A and B are shown apart, each in its own frame.
Chain A
Amino acid sequence: EAGVTQFPSHSVIEKGQTVTLRCDPISGHDNLYWYRRVMGKEIKFLLHFVKESKQDESGMPNNRFLAERTGGTYSTLKVQPAELEDSGVYFCASSQVVLTEASTDTQYFGPGTRLTVL
């Protein structure tokens, strides 16, 4: 079974440009998460989708970031316009829906997209 995939693996853009990151979760996983690590900092949560709905977007830094998950399959994270401080590694993770109290929401991460804003 394929794991979480992310595209592109690297992206280098100029300040003010737009970049779109893509995440394909594990097939059948309804939960999809975005995280990022900026230089020297901890991995931070950005957003959580349950199917196509945004369950929690408390970690989105500002309105330059837009996440979508049309159809409840893959997700995109658009940064427009990009700023220098957006540089970092963006991770996507997915997990199955928690159906019972005995279930746990184990998240499986993709390899990340390294974004460099010049």
Chain B
Amino acid sequence: DAKTTQPPSMDCAEGRAANLPCNHSTISGNEYVYWYRQIHSQGPQYIIHGLKNNETNEMASLIITEDRKSSTLILPHATLRDTAVYYCIASYTSYGKLTFGQGTILTVHP
């Protein structure tokens, strides 16, 4: 799996958009970009994934650059409950194993 790089921490005001960047410059053509998050004392939670195109679901949007070397997870209206560690993972779908890095600690403040 390609290595990903994320900032260790970020802050966001409640109600504003949270934009979490991820670099994956060595990603291969058939590796997906997955985002998970872990809220304190809970198991990791799937958020979204994508290959080439931008993706949106009820939780977030994923913007992948055209060269696929980086991506941004967008939480459009962050709430206090979005405070968590966010993980960006590059993974081949058929392999299954997820390789977690240190992630980004997102703190949403009032």
Contact = CB atoms under 8 A, between A and B. Distances in A.
A61 to B, nearest CB: 15
A18 B19 CA distance: 45
Q: Is the interface of B mostly helix, strand, loop or mixed?
A: loop
Given A42-B101, A44-B100, A105 B94 contact: yes
A45 B98 contact: yes
Interface string B89-110: 0010111111111100000000
A83 B49 CA distance: 37
A105 B93 contact: yes
A104 B49 contact: yes
A35 B97 CA distance: 9
Contacts of B96: 31, 33, 48, 55-56, 95, 105, 107
A4 B43 contact: yes
Contact of B97 (A33, A91, A103, A111): A33
B43 A104 contact: no
Contact of B43 (A55, A58, A110): A110
A89 to B, nearest CB: 9
Contacts of A110: 43
A59 B96 CA distance: 13
A91 B41 CA distance: 11
Residue picked from A4, A91, A104, most chain B C-beta under 10 Å: A104
Given A33-B96, A48-B97, A56-B96, A107 B102 contact: no
Interface string B80-96: 00000000000101111
Contacts of A103: 93
A44 B102 CA distance: 11
10 contacts: A42-B100, A44-B100, A45-B99, A48-B97, A58-B97, A91-B44, A93-B43, A95-B96, A105-B95, A109-B45
Counting from the closest, the 6 A-B pairs by CB-CB distance are: A109-B43, A43-B100, A109-B44, A45-B97, A104-B93, A105-B93
Interface of A: 4, 31, 33, 35, 42-45, 48, 55-56, 58-59, 91, 93, 95, 98, 103-112
